[in-house]
Every structure is written in C-alpha cells, then in structure tokens.
Amino acid sequence: MREAIRAHLDTHQVSRVIYGAIIGLALVVALEHHPPPVGAVIATLLGTAIAVGLAELYSDVIGIEVRLHRRISHADLAPLLEDVAAVAIGIAFPVVFFLLAAIGAMELDNAFRIAKWTGLGLIAFYGFCAARLSGVSPHRSVLRALAVGLIGAFLIGLKALVH
C-alpha cells in the first residue's frame, strides 16, 4: 500500500486529484444546507465528475491541436485520459459516503459531515506529502498541510456564514 501511494505521488495526476477534490468538496458543502435525496446527491457528484472530466479533455485536446497545428494522436490522448480520470475520481470520491447512506449504513447528515471533512483531510494530506517529498522538514510539512487545508476550511466556513 505504501509503495502504491508513493508511486501515485510521483505522478502528474496528484494535481488533478486535488483539483477534483476541491470541486467535490464545494459540491458537498453547497448541497448540505438543503440536501436533496441521497440518489440526487450521488447523481450530482457523478454527473459533475463526468462533465468536468469531459470539459477537461475537450480543452486539453483543443489546446494540443492549436499548439501543434495538427490533430491529436492516440499517443497524445492516453495521458489526457489519465488526467481526466484523476479529476473525476477527486470529484466523485465523496460518493462512497452517500452510497453508504443510500443503503442505510449511515444517516445522510453523517454522510455530508464525513464527506466534507475527508475532502478537507485529502487536500491537507496531499499538501503534507508534497512538502515531505520536496525535502521540507516534518514540522514545516505540517504547516504546509494546514495552509492548503485552509482552502477546504474556507469553503466550509463560507457555507456556515452564508446559511
């Protein structure tokens, strides 16, 4: 497991998962105050993952074609699909908790709470790992994790202020 995490942290997809996680967290926070039925939450997260993934793919394909002045090749497409999958996974990650709510393993309120705080934790975890892998001391790595975690905390705090 540790090697799988280390291998993942050495990829370009880290930034894409973080991007997706921030979008997923924003959706969870937005839906929490007046939650729709659990199926609608799941559909919203999955639909957003697909829509953002396709938008990401489309914009990357167009960008490559404009830059290279030719149609994109299959070789160019494979890494783009990996990036799209990473963004979609980041967005869809909270679906796990809502599926548990759908089968009655937890209450919908708890699914929102856990999805919200695990999203924040994921963002902070990546910040910590990035700092450690770049040679920053453990103490400063924790500070970096806290700093990037403030992105998620800002979303959660903003929701609390607005509602």
pTM: 0.86
Q: Residue-wise over 99-123: b if at least 16 C-beta within 10 A, else e? A: ebbbeeebebeebbebbbebbbebb
d(CA 23, CA 40) in angstroms, rounded, equals 17
Read off the pLDDT of residues 69-98 as tens digits, 9 standing for 90 and up. Answer: 999 999 989 999 999 999 999 999 999 999
Read off the pLDDT of residues 2-17 as tens digits, 9 standing for 90 and up. Answer: 777 777 777 778 889 8
Read off the pLDDT of residues 114-142 as tens digits, 9 standing for 90 and up. Answer: 999 999 999 898 889 888 888 999 999 99
- With 70 as the cut, is the pLDDT of residue 160 above it? no
pLDDT band at residue 163 using 50, 70 and 90 as cut-offs: low
- With 80 as the cut, is the pLDDT of residue 162 above it? no
d(CA 104, CA 88) in angstroms, rounded, equals 25
Residue 90 structure tokens: 């980041």
